[in-house]
Structure 1
C-alpha cells in the first residue's frame, strides 16, 4: 500500500479538542511520507520470575489466559484480536518491548528494506511474521502481520442508565446491581513510554510506523524548545482510531511508564477497582477523567510494581485532526478526580530517581538542567 502522504487536517483549536493549535514552524505531528502505517498496538512483552503470581493478578485485573507454557504466559482481552500481553519467565521483572500490527504483509517487506532488517517467522503462540527493530531509546519494537487472532468472547454490556431527562424503559421496575468482580478487559488500548531522546524517538515512530500526533504538551516557558510529551494515534485514514495508541514523554529514565486496557463503562471500572482493592492490590490514582484523550481512568500497580490502567469512553480521531498543544502540568492531567498522586507521577523521592537524574544530565541527550527543572515544576503544579 503506497503512502498517499499527509491527509488534510482540521483546525484543532476551533473548539474541537484543544484550546491551542500549533504556532508557525512547530512540529506538524506527522511525517511527510512514512515508510508504513501500522493499524494498532498488538501486544506488550515482559519478563517476570513468577508466572503464577503474574497470572493471578492478570485474572483479578480482568484479563484471561490465551495460552501458557512452562516459560511463557499469553494474556488476552475479550474482543477479537491478538493476545494483549506476553510474559516470559526471567530472573527479573522488566518490560522487554512492544509490538504493532502492520496493515499488510508487504508492509513488513517495505519496513525491512528501509531499516536494513529481515522479516522473520514467529514460531511461538499464534505465529505470524515480524520485523524486529530498536527505537532511538533502545526499546525493542516488533511489527507483526499474520498473527492468528483470538476469537471474541461474550462482552459485558454497558449498563442502561437513567439520565436527568430520560427514563430508560429497561430501568422501569428494575434495579442496578453491578457485581463486584474483575472488570472484563476488552482490549489493550495504549502504552506510555519515557525517553531521554524524546524528539528523536517521536520522529522515528512517525517516520517508520506512520503514527500521527493527537496532542503535544510542552514545558511552561519553554515552548520554543519544542514539545516534551506527545499522545500519538494510528493513521487509519477516515476510520477513527484511539486518541493515543502510544504516548511518550521526555524524562530522566527510559522505558515503560504504564499501559491501559479498555473496559465497558464506569461501573465496570469502579466495581473492578473495588474488587482489586479488596484483594490488597496497590491503587495508584483515580477514578477521574483525563483531559488529553478524555478517558475515564483508574490506575493500579501489579505485584511487580508495573502500572496498569482501566479506562472507558476515550476519544477517537480520524486522520484529519491536527495536534492540540497545551502546557504540561500535573493538574492538567484530569478534568475531574482526585489530584494526581506522587506514585502516579513518579515523583516520590528515592535514591534511584536521583541517580537517574544525575545520569541523564551527564549523557548526550535532550535532558539538561533547564529541562529537568521544568519537568519537576510541571509535575508539582
Structure 2
C-alpha cells in the first residue's frame, strides 16, 4: 500500500536528525501492519555461498566467530550466546549472499505462514535440526522462517572491562590491559538490504513477518514521495528488542549490503579491529557511534568483499515506540567518528555499478532519475 502524506511541507522540528516519537506527518506510512500473518521473534542466521571454505573459516575466526559445525560442503558459524548459529556458508561456484533466515516464535507460526503463503513446512539441515518455510520477498531474495529443534549452548564470554567514571572508581590497584585478540562475537544483530522496490518490499516484511519500523529516512525535498530507508525491528510486545533487525534502503542494487554482530564493548571493538588490521584485512569505516540505533560500530571487508560490522551498546525499543522520521544524509550516519568512506557508501565507481544503475532505471521499479539524484545528493551531504 502506498502512503501519501496530506501535509506536503517539511515542518521544523526539534527532533530533526534524531529518532522522534512523533515524527510522522498525517497520512504517512504507519510503520507497521494492522494484522500481520505472524510476528517473527528475531533474525536467526544468514546464508552465503563461497568456493573456498578454508579461507572463509580463517576470516571467521579472525573476526570472532566460533565454529558450530564444519563439513566438506558447509561451514556453520556461531556466537557465544545460546541459540541458533549466526551464519551458514555453503560451498558454491562463486561468492554470493543467498538470504536471511528469521526465527519463528512458535512452531505453529510456521504452519500459519505456510497456509497463508501456499508454501510447505520442510526439514532443513541445521546443527540441532530445524523446520523451515521458504519464501521470496518482492525483490526476489530468498527468505526463510525457521523454528529450531535444539539451541546451541552458551560459550565463555569476553568479559567487559571494569571502568572508572569521574568520582565513581570501581577499579583500583589494577591496570587495564585488554588483550589484542579477535572480538568474540556474541550474536547476529541485523542485516541491511538494498532494493529497487522499497515500499513494496517494506510492506511485505511488515505484513508477512510482523516487523515494525523504528526509523524512516527520506530524501531532502522528496518527503511527500515517502521514505527511502527503514530501520525495522521485531515486535515482541513490551519486551525491548534491537532498534533494527533488518534495514532496507532504496537503491539500484538488490540484496546484501552488510550484516552486524554484537560484541562485548568498545574495547572489544577496538582491540579486535587492531587484530584484524594486523592480519591485513580492510576496514571499511569506523570506529564511531551511529545516530539511528546508537550503536558503536566498526565495519570490515572479508576476503570476498562482503561487509561485516562489529557493534556494541545499541538502542532497545519496545512495541510502544512509533517510527521516527529524518532526512537521509551521509553526515547523518554517525554522531561521532571518522568521515564516512566511499567504500562504506558503495559510491566507488565501477563498470558493474554503472550497469546496475542503467538496468535499474530501465526496469519498472521505484528508482527513477529524481530518486537517483536525490540518493546521490544524500550520500554527498
The two structures have a TM-score, normalised by structure 1, of 0.95
Given that 2:21 and 2:321 are in contact with CA atoms closer than 8 Å, whether structure 1 keeps it comes out as: no
Alignment of 1:290 with 2:290, yes or no, is yes
Given that 1:188 and 1:260 are in contact with CA atoms closer than 8 Å, whether structure 2 keeps it comes out as: yes
Structure 2 CA distance, aligned partners of 1:176 and 1:124? 40
Given that 1:51 and 1:87 are in contact with CA atoms closer than 8 Å, whether structure 2 keeps it comes out as: yes
Could you give the per-residue CA deviations for residues 303-348 of structure 1, whole angstroms, max 9, x where no partner exists?
0000000000000000000000000000000000011100000001
Structure 2 CA distance, aligned partners of 1:225 and 1:254? 21
User: Offset of 1:351 from its aligned partner?
Assistant: 1.0
> Which SS does the other structure have where 2:111 is aligned?
helix
Q: Which runs of 5+ in 1 are unaligned?
A: 1-11
Equivalence for 1:5: none
Equivalence for 1:200: 200
Could you give the per-residue CA deviations for residues 89-115 of structure 1, whole angstroms, max 9, x where no partner exists?
001000001100001111101101110
- After TM superposition, list the pairs within 5 Å mapping 1:169-180 onto structure 2: 171-180=171-180
Given that 1:236 and 1:319 are in contact with CA atoms closer than 8 Å, whether structure 2 keeps it comes out as: yes
Given that 2:19 and 2:326 are in contact with CA atoms closer than 8 Å, whether structure 1 keeps it comes out as: no
Alignment of 1:137 with 2:139, yes or no, is yes
Given that 1:214 and 1:232 are in contact with CA atoms closer than 8 Å, whether structure 2 keeps it comes out as: yes
User: Offset of 1:155 from its aligned partner?
Assistant: 1.1
Structure 2 CA distance, aligned partners of 1:124 and 1:335? 39
User: Offset of 1:125 from its aligned partner?
Assistant: 3.0
Could you give the per-residue CA deviations for residues 278-300 of structure 1, whole angstroms, max 9, x where no partner exists?
00001100000000000000000
Q: Which runs of 5+ in 2 are unaligned?
A: 1-13
Structure 1 CA distance, aligned partners of 2:27 and 2:54? 52
Given that 1:180 and 1:272 are in contact with CA atoms closer than 8 Å, whether structure 2 keeps it comes out as: yes
- After TM superposition, list the pairs within 5 Å mapping 1:223-234 onto structure 2: 223-234=223-234
Given that 1:302 and 1:308 are in contact with CA atoms closer than 8 Å, whether structure 2 keeps it comes out as: yes
Structure 2 CA distance, aligned partners of 1:370 and 1:78? 45
Could you give the per-residue CA deviations for residues 6-41 of structure 1, whole angstroms, max 9, x where no partner exists?
xxxxxx969993386000000000001100000000
User: Offset of 1:188 from its aligned partner?
Assistant: 0.3
Given that 2:190 and 2:245 are in contact with CA atoms closer than 8 Å, whether structure 1 keeps it comes out as: yes
> Which SS does the other structure have where 1:108 is aligned?
helix
Structure 2 CA distance, aligned partners of 1:109 and 1:341? 44
Range moving further from structure 2, 138-147 or 60-69: 138-147
Given that 2:133 and 2:144 are in contact with CA atoms closer than 8 Å, whether structure 1 keeps it comes out as: yes
Given that 1:284 and 1:301 are in contact with CA atoms closer than 8 Å, whether structure 2 keeps it comes out as: yes
Given that 1:20 and 1:326 are in contact with CA atoms closer than 8 Å, whether structure 2 keeps it comes out as: no
1:45 to 47, 67, 70: 47
Structure 2 CA distance, aligned partners of 1:14 and 1:276? 36
Structure 1 CA distance, aligned partners of 2:333 and 2:20? 13
1:29 to 12, 25, 31: 31
Alignment of 1:91 with 2:99, yes or no, is no
Equivalence for 2:271: 271
- After TM superposition, list the pairs within 5 Å mapping 1:346-365 onto structure 2: 346-365=346-365
User: Offset of 1:149 from its aligned partner?
Assistant: 1.3
Q: How many residue pairs get matched?
A: 368
Equivalence for 1:343: 343
User: Offset of 1:166 from its aligned partner?
Assistant: 1.3
> Which SS does the other structure have where 2:27 is aligned?
coil
The two structures have a TM-score, normalised by structure 2, of 0.95
Equivalence for 2:122: 120
Alignment of 1:55 with 2:57, yes or no, is yes
